[in-house]
Amino acid sequence: MIMKFTSKSLLFFGLLASLLINGCATSSSTGRWVKLFDGKTLDGWKASEAPASWRVENGAIVAQGQPKSHLFYVGGEQPFKNFEFQADVMTRSNSNGGIYIHTRFQEGGWPKYGHECQVNNSYFRDPIKTASIYQVVNITNAPALDDKWFKYNIRVEDRRIVITIDGKVIVDYTEPADKKAGTDFTRKLDQGTFAFQAHDDKSIVYYRNIKVRRLP
């Protein structure tokens, strides 16, 4: 049988094919890993109050507070809500740091918005250790060691945060639907960007292979 196509039917099939192709592209780009750090510069990042607390060394961002400072990712066009974030992290002895999620840039002070995912394997003044959601889910036994790279993975889907260290789930937390923001700090999921913490001049923390992928 020979099928005859009119100009209208050809237009219809053309539009249908375009929608299918665009739909596939959108779906694949949602889960695509995107690098947040080029390994050479701090392009796309902005430091608060003490920019000298940050440097790039051997392909890693180095946090060494002089005094404290926070380095915010400002290279994204849209805020991050549901995502998977991953970085290789290394701490030196007695060092404290943190990875903020759902935060936003501020010129000074401790970030008011979002959650801090703790980076601290041996800092003796703070018992809250690596993989904790600071002051929400506190881990007292560090799942990693100083002077060794470990993989830090943070996955956020709606009200759920899963933190994995070297492939092992350390925290699986679902925020209550009626969670209220605090007076001084929200410590609540919303949307926003990422930030690293430079805690003090004796705390040295390294971050490399920093990437993220958006989730539906």
- The pairing of strands 205-214 and 60-63 is antiparallel
- Which pLDDT tens digit goes with each residue over 111-137? 999 999 999 999 999 999 999 999 999
Cα(71)–Cα(48) distance, rounded to whole angstroms?
Answer: 6
CATH 2.60.120.560 at 34-214, yes or no: yes
- Residue 191 pairs in a beta bridge with none
Domain assignments of the chain as residue spans, ordered by start: 34-214
Is pTM beyond 0.75? Reply is: yes
Find out whether the peptide bond into 216 is cis, omega within 30 degrees of 0.
no
Q: What is the mean pLDDT of the chain?
A: 88
Cα(67)–Cα(50) distance, rounded to whole angstroms?
Answer: 7
Cα(113)–Cα(125) distance, rounded to whole angstroms?
Answer: 24
Q: Which residue has the higher pLDDT, 17 or 204?
A: 204
